[in-house]
Structure 1
Amino acid sequence: MVNGIEIQYFNVCKRKLWLYSKQITMEVENDRVMEGKILHERSYQRLEQREMLIDNQFKIDAVDGEYIREVKISSKMAEADKWQLLFYLYELKLRGVNKKGLISYTKEKKTEEVILDIEKEHKLENMIKEIQIIRNQDYPPTLKKLPYCSKCAYFDFCFSDVEEDISC
């Protein structure tokens, strides 16, 4: 089964997805990841339904009426954030629960509504198939230098043998 983090990583970096799928997790000591965990602990405290693990497959931050809520530090990965939330909405729909989504970006103090439709469902189904293909590869996808690599938890792993200037 695919999970929400894999959808996020698929939309950020296919190599990161592959590494994560092989249980090569670098996030444990990463400051940005720790900041996100603290943010999640402090968010939505007024809501009773928070940090809900669904079928041991994915965890949603909160349920607030007709909405599934996700909280993110910033909108730098807004597209990946959107697809992660769409995945949660899709999985809930498969279980007979129809909701809309809200992503709150704390640094920008803004919230975006996310709505699942048939076109997005088809795109998610294709993403899930592609994720399964990437997971089954013997080697990670080729390294691509992206603008946010220097802040990634996998940076040292990916760039340890690279001799060129990699300051993104």
Structure 2
Amino acid sequence: MRRVILRWLPKAAYGIVHEATRHLLRRPVVGISAVARTRDGRWLLIRRGDTGTWGLPGGTLEWGETLRTALDRELDEEAGVTSLELVRVLGAWSKPSRDPRFHAVTIGVECIVEAPTKAPKNPLEIREARLFRDDELPETLAFDMHDLLAVVRQGGTQTVLE
């Protein structure tokens, strides 16, 4: 029965219902963020449509999805990246104030990616994906993601649990 109802729900309305459900259930959601760079050392960032700020690509897991599947999906949807090599899991960030929309538990991963080959799938959500040299990186990143990036930039070897 549920599938029949959702099939008739417009995609945009489904997104609103999905976000409202998260707030109603008052439970943390699990997400994944990629601290991704190319083999020549450039960092992959996405510019968000809601705030206009730069951030790390990533998002929340969908029902029945593994972290790896979510990572592949999010990099494809947000940044047009279709080839990646997972380097390591950096840790988990769970500070409730990181994201004003909901309480997210974010798993940070380091990965090596090929340059984006296509535009973001939803330009209302993600305006663009771009590669940055170290000296071009923005001072701040959306949703306090700078600390995930710092773990990799500073050569941290410990797994973070915040």
TM-score band (shorter)?
A: under 0.3
Q: TM-score, normalised by structure 2?
A: 0.24
Structure with the higher fraction of residues in helix conformation? 1
Q: Which has the higher contact order (CA 8 A, sep 6+)?
A: 2
Q: TM-score, normalised by structure 1?
A: 0.24
Structure with the higher fraction of residues in strand conformation? 2
